């Protein structure tokens, strides 16, 4: 394969990859989770963790 032909194929692969990323096919789809502050499903950053806990406390 020549370099010119490779560049065309590479661009097509890249475009296809971006389409996959845009459609969310590269990973499992997101879903809303009822977060319990006692579970280990917490953010690594304390500021955001605290804001999550505050929101959950307001809801309950």
**Encoded tokens for 40:** 């280990």
Pairwise CA distance, residues 12 & 10, whole Å: 5
Closest contact distance (angstroms) between CB of 2 and another protein is 7
SS3 29: coil
* Interface residue with another protein, options 38, 40, 47, 60 (CB under 8 A): 40
Contact 52, 43 (CB under 8 A): yes
The reply on whether position 13 binds another protein by CB under 8 A is: yes
Contact criterion met (CB below 8 Å) for 20 and 13: no
Question: Does residue 60 touch another protein according to CB under 8 A?
Answer: no
Where does this chain bind another protein (CB under 8 A)?
1-3, 6, 10, 13-14, 17-18, 21, 26-33, 35, 40-45, 48, 51-52, 55-56, 59
């Amino acid at each position: 394969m020549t370099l010119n032909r490779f560049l065309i194929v590479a661009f097509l692969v890249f475009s296809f990859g971006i389409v996959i990323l845009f459609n969310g096919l590269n990973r499992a789809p997101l879903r809303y989770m009822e977060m319990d502050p006692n579970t280990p499903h917490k953010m690594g950053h304390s500021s955001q963790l605290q804001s999550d806990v505050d929101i959950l406390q307001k809801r309950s």
